[in-house]
Amino acid sequence: MYLKIPNHFINIIQAWIPILSLLTLATFSVGLYFALFNSPPDYLQGDSMRIMYVHVPAAWFALASYSFLSFSCIAWFVFRNPNFNLFAKSIAPIGAVFTIIALVTGSIWGKPTWGTWWAWDARLTSMLVLFFLYAAYIMTWQAIANKELAAKISATLGIIGFINIPIIKFSVDWWNTLHQPATISKLSAPSIHISMLTPLMIMTFAYLLFLITLFLIRFKIEILEQKISRAKNI
């Protein structure tokens, strides 16, 4: 298991990080301007629905990050290239933070909409479970001292979580139809007006840039840490 990343690659990452950070900042400013000032309030929920522009992209990317994590784990099992494991290890804390953002904004949104902070809505509950899947993955790296072993165990866990997500989603949905009639359908507006779609798209793009920036920073740290521990071992 030797690292196949040349040194100059780290320099390239290093050069991109400030550029991407600035881009992220710029896109967020534009997106937030559109979201907060230059878009109409919802006719049912009023201004409180503006939190959607922060909430929805966070939830999307929390899920997308977990898919990325799982596919990296699968790819690691197939190709045995340790970089895939580093991908998964780098994205995990970011995905966990995005999940927290989605959970917190979701419950802030829930307060005016449902009247409570938490409504055991199927999506929020699945999000909470997703957070625990991230937590389990991150903890594995810390709980197992032997790093080679930790790599294998955490990759297995990443895949288990991926199999588990649809099962949990299905059963929580089923449970939800049983216990929680129609109150939530307010949230999933059937179609979204173009004036709301534009800020949402800009915010999604901002989140994507934010995710990539954070990912590159974490990835750089993981590579350097691996280099240090290898240097210690020799």
Partner 1 sequence: MLFYNLIIRDLKLAFYSSTNFLLAASFLILILVLIPFVFNASPDSFTLLFSGFIWIAIALSILLTLDRVFNSDYEDGNLEIILISQFPIELIVCAKFISHWISNCIPIIIAIPIAGLLFNISLSDNLYIVVNIIAGSPGMVFIGAAISALTLGSKRASLYKTIIVIPLYIPFMIFGVNQESSLVLLGLSMISFIFSLFTSTYSLHLYAE
Partner 2 sequence: MTNKLEINDLECIRNEKSIFQNLTFKVESSQTILITGKNGSGKTSLLRIIAGFIVNYKGEILFNSKKINDFNKLIADFKFVGQKNSLKENLTVQQNIELWQYLYQTTIDIDQITGPLNIKSFLDKDVSSLSDGQRKRVSLSRLTISQSKVWLLDEPLVYLDADKVKLLGSLIDKHNKDGGMTIYSSNTKNNLDYNKLINMDNYALL
Smallest distance from the beta carbon of 85 to partner 1, in angstroms?
15
Nearer to partner 1 by Cβ, of 29 and 67: the residue is 67
228 binds, among partner 2, partner 1, none (CB under 5 to 8 A by kind): none
164 near partner 1, rule: CB under 8 A? yes
Q: Three-class SS of residue 46?
A: strand
DSSP state at residue 145:
S
Q: Which two tokens stand for residue 213?
A: 């920036």
Long-range CB contacts (within 8 A, 24+) of 30-35: 30/202, 30/206, 31/199, 31/202, 31/203, 31/205, 31/206, 32/203, 34/198, 34/199, 34/202, 35/199, 35/200, 35/202, 35/203
Smallest distance from the beta carbon of 129 to partner 1, in angstroms?
5
1 binds, among partner 2, partner 1, none (CB under 5 to 8 A by kind): partner 2
143 binds, among partner 1, partner 2, none (CB under 5 to 8 A by kind): partner 1
How crowded is residue 37: how many other Cβ atoms within 10 Å of its Cβ?
9
Smallest distance from the beta carbon of 133 to partner 1, in angstroms?
6
The site for partner 1 (CB under 8 A) is made up of: 129, 132-133, 135-136, 139-140, 143-146, 149, 152-153, 156-157, 160, 163-164, 167-168, 170-172, 174-175, 178
